[in-house]
Amino acid sequence: HVVLRQLAPGGEDFPEFGDGHEQRLKTLKKLVVQARRYGIGIYLYMNEPRAMPLAFFKDRPEMAGVKEGDFQTMCTSDPRVRKWLGDSLAHVFGEVPDLGGVFTITASENLTSCASHARHQQCPRCKQRTDAEIIAEVNATIEEGVHRGSPQARVIAWDWGWKGHGDAPDIVSLLPENIAVMSVSEWSLPIERGGVKSKIGEYSISAVGPGPRATKHWQYAKQRGLKAVAKVAFNNTWELSAVPYLPVMDLIAEHSENLQGAGVDGMMLSWTLGGYPSPNLLVSHKFSNQPQATKEVVLQEIAEERYGTKAAPHMRQAWSKFSEAFRQFPYSGAAMYLAPQQQGPANLLFVKPTGYAATMVGYPYDDLARWRAPYPDAVFAEQFEKIASGWNVGLTDLEKAVAVASGEERTRAESDLSVARAAVL
């Protein structure tokens, strides 16, 4: 995650940009060299151009776009802003040509272009344009700058935040040819948990994608001749982030197999959490190297390779039971961010109602009314009970695997057992 004005000089139009950029690029080069030793490419997350304080526009009133609070957009309908954006990226990738590439988010929580929060009608320049034109133009400007500096680098446009723009065929249709479209695989997937119907937003392992939104965006990309990328979560999510990975291998393998059929060209395996080198990632690795692989074959191979032939059947049983239990997760944005599962037994009990409000992935307190939305109290509790009881059955199988394994295989099984026990708590 970088802020572009800290990585490159601002040129004549923005002389205040770039303070300390030489040292930052030097550090970035070291990181790239270190990663390349292990076959790893470093990608920059581009969420640009970042909004600036109001004082920034005192001598640039014609460049000011949409205002939110004490910040205002650097309007990308002004060619000077686009020139800076392209030139800065060309500079970064020219100085560090071995960077793997960038991925963009162009409609996020951060205010960037005038269309980033669907308020471009408030800008005197952008109101004459469509939001699709503006968002596509930002991506195109980034792509041009990156490839001017390093033609082999990859540019991936993540559609996160495009949900306010419908199914976004208009955005995809305007993207340049040398760009890939990335979509959250499980987004918009319809689910029913405890009789409550809803749709998945993101950050879900319990619901197996791809969903209709990603499928449509990949189809639009393919029709244009663009590559399609799936953003998935294969280690953990905000459903339960406090363990390095969730041993729900059947769910991961099912998702991987579905993506093989969807014809995607790549995957992003995590986002702000979930980078642990777990057995879950072996599933994705197997499918990547065996295009015709099936769920059962992959899981059996991993079980035997990691734990030996005696323990493998017990591990397969454990994974399947964990996976079936986790399908009961009472998914919602409120549950993921506010409910107590991230803290588990560490969340304090209170004799009397506190009146405290749960904080995002922080302290849940006793704020049940906000934890449970949209589930009734009893249903919310019952769904977690279903997960816990089903998971405990799987623990018995995992313990059997530990008992019959030996040497390094037993060590791996014991490590997995500690993670699984933490998850059920």
Helices marked H in 96-202: 131-149, 169-174
Is the model's pLDDT at 415 over the cut of 70? yes
Q: Helix, strand, coil: what percent of the chain each, to 5?
A: 50, 10, 40
pLDDT of residue 70: 96
pLDDT, one tens digit per residue, over 53-92 is 999 999 999 999 999 999 999 999 999 999 999 999 999 9
pLDDT of residue 108: 86
Under the banding of pLDDT at 50, 70 and 90, the label for residue 45 is very high
Q: What percent of the chain has pLDDT over 70?
A: 99
Distance linking the first and last C-alpha atoms of the chain: 33
**Which residues sit opposite 182 in a β-bridge?**
158, 229
Q: 3-class secondary structure for 357-404?
A: CCCCCCCCCCCHHHHCCCCCHHHHHHHHHHHHHHHHHHHHHHHHHHHH
Rounded CA separation 170/304 (Å): 48
Could you give the C-alpha distances from 281 to 58, 106, 217, 249, in angstroms and in order? Answer: 50, 28, 25, 10
193 φ/ψ angles, rounded to the nearest 5 degrees: -125, 120
Contacts of 335 (CB under 8 A, 6+ apart): 329, 341, 371, 372, 373, 375, 380
Rounded CA separation 3/380 (Å): 40
Q: Please state the length of the chain.
A: 425
Could you give the maximum distance between any two Cα atoms of the chain, in Å? Answer: 74
Burial of 169 (0-12, 13-18, 19+ CB in 10 A): middle
Rounded CA separation 62/173 (Å): 30
Long-range CB contacts (< 8 A, 24+ apart) of 386-393?
386/325, 386/328, 387/325, 387/326, 387/328, 387/329, 388/325, 388/424, 389/325, 390/321, 390/322, 390/324, 390/325, 390/328, 391/321, 391/322, 391/325, 391/326, 391/420, 391/423, 391/424, 392/424, 393/321, 393/325
Among the listed residues 219, 277, 266, the one whose alpha carbon sits nearest the alpha carbon of residue 38:
277
What 3-state class would DSSP assign to 52? strand
Whether residue 74 contacts residue 123, with contact meaning beta carbons closer than 8 Å, is answered with no
Helices marked H in 308-364: 312-326, 333-338
Angle 178-184-185 (CA atoms, 0-180°, nearest 5)? 105
More confident residue, 275 or 193: 193
pLDDT, one tens digit per residue, over 362-404 is 999 999 999 999 999 999 999 999 999 999 999 999 999 999 9
Q: What percent of the chain has pLDDT over 90?
A: 94
Under the banding of pLDDT at 50, 70 and 90, the label for residue 217 is very high
pLDDT of residue 166: 58
- Take residue 314 and report the two structure tokens written for it: 């017990």
Residue holding tokens 């776009």? Answer: 65
* Average pLDDT over the chain, rounded to an integer: 96
Is the model's pLDDT at 413 over the cut of 70? yes
Under the banding of pLDDT at 50, 70 and 90, the label for residue 12 is very high
pLDDT, one tens digit per residue, over 313-353 is 999 999 999 999 999 999 999 999 999 999 998 999 999 99
Rounded CA separation 185/231 (Å): 6
pLDDT of residue 163: 66
Ramachandran assignment for 259, one of left (phi > 0), alpha (psi -120 to 50 degrees), beta (any other): alpha
pLDDT, one tens digit per residue, over 131-176 is 999 999 999 999 999 999 999 999 999 999 886 655 789 999 999 9
Whether residue 156 contacts residue 101, with contact meaning beta carbons closer than 8 Å, is answered with yes
